[in-house]
């Protein structure tokens, strides 16, 4: 019976084989030291790598003005690579694969002292006043920063990278009609415009890291707000990201963040991930409210996703994956 469980079954992302379907999703610890992973963070991830197939490390900013908070990890400087090698080495020593998550906070940025960037000069975070709409030059620089960060992650031993387009951060601000009022090629009035920047970043990163390096995107697929992104747009958006080079879709919330008010059943975003999974032929990851192996297996069996992220339960119990696989 154990051999028939999907939770235990390996899965391939691009050419990387994951030993099972258990993922530790990115969760900010706020323990970085001037952008570097601290010894405490390295130990934190190593402790949760036993049994886990994939660890996605908490978000790292690609550019100083995109810092979400002053204890966030950075991937914006070459000098950080040796410290990240310690982290990836510690995770690999316990048999797990590890991705870096790359982010720009946009209108949610704080702590850098630099003007916050946004698609249309709309604030989504009271503590972060924003400047005007991003210029074409600023958008070009942003794409270059994501590419540089991805190359650093690859050099540091990460097995792949995830582009963060969820939870109200900059790329999610471009996706949401509530925060994207642009009228240019990145227009907030069309789905093509709202997915253009993410697709261009995926394409640029893919060209830089090569065709066999796993590339994921965390997609805030629905805002859960009137006038925001819509559920029926999910299939087309996911297909656009796959066409641009994504090997894995990590489905989560949009401007609402990583939880959904009133949702208590395991797999808070299962309705969204099911739509995504039916629309593409790359693996889909679902996170939210899963605390037991039985819950994870049920979501896999229902075809809600191909991989299950276990967040708070893994924070509470570092060897959660080892126990679940028993």
Catalytic-residue membership of 186: no
**Residue in 45, 61, 84, 169 annotated catalytic:** 169
Among the listed residues 232, 237, 242, 174, the one whose alpha carbon sits nearest the alpha carbon of residue 202? 242
Q: What are residue 44's phi and psi, to 5 degrees?
A: -60, -50
Cα–Cα distances in angstroms (integers) from residue 117 to residues 141, 168, 173, 212, 317, in the given order: 12, 13, 10, 32, 38
User: How many angstroms separate the CA atoms of 274 and 251, rounded?
Assistant: 10
- Coil, strand or helix: which one is 56? strand
Question: How far apart are the C-alpha atoms of 57 and 45, rounded to whole Å?
Answer: 8
| Contact criterion met (CB below 8 Å) for 153 and 103 | no
Torsion angles phi and psi, residue 131, rounded to 5: -85, -165
192/181 Cα distance (integer angstroms): 14
Q: Which residue has the tokens 């925001």?
A: 228
Q: Could you tell me which residues are beta bridge partners of residue 152? A: none
Looking at the annotation, which residues are catalytic? 169
């Amino acid at each position: 019976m154990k051999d028939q469980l999907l939770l235990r079954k390996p899965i391939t992302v691009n050419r990387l084989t994951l030993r099972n379907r258990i993922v530790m999703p990115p969760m900010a610890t706020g323990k970085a030291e001037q952008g570097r992973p601290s010894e405490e963070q390295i130990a934190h991830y190593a402790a949760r790598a036993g049994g886990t197939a994939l660890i996605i490390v908490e978000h790292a900013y690609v550019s100083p003005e995109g810092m979400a908070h002053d204890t966030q990890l950075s991937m914006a400087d070459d000098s950080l690579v040796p410290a990240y090698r310690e982290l990836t080495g510690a995770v690999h020593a316990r048999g797990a694969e590890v991705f870096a998550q790359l982010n720009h906070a946009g209108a949610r940025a704080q702590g850098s002292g630099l003007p916050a960037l946004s698609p249309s000069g709309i604030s989504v975070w009271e503590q972060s006043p924003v400047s005007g709409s991003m210029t074409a030059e600023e958008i070009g620089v942003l794409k270059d920063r994501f590419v540089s960060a991805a190359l650093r992650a690859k050099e540091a031993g990460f097995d792949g990278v995830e582009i963060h387009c969820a939870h109200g951060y900059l790329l999610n601000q471009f996706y949401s009609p509530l925060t994207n009022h642009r009228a240019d090629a990145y227009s907030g009035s069309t789905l093509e415009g709202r997915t253009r920047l993410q697709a261009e970043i995926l394409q640029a990163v893919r060209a830089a890291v090569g065709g066999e390096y796993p590339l994921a995107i965390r997609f805030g697929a629905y805002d859960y707000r009137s006038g925001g992104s819509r559920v029926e747009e999910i299939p087309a958006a996911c297909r656009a990201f796959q066409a641009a080079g994504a090997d894995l879709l990590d489905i989560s919330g949009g401007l609402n963040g990583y939880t959904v008010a009133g949702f208590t059943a395991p797999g808070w975003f299962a309705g969204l991930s099911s739509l995504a999974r039916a629309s593409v032929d790359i693996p889909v990851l679902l996170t939210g409210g899963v605390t037991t192996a039985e819950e994870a297996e049920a979501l896999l069996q229902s075809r809600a996703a191909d991989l299950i992220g276990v967040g708070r339960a893994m924070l509470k119990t570092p060897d959660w994956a080892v126990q679940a696989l028993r």
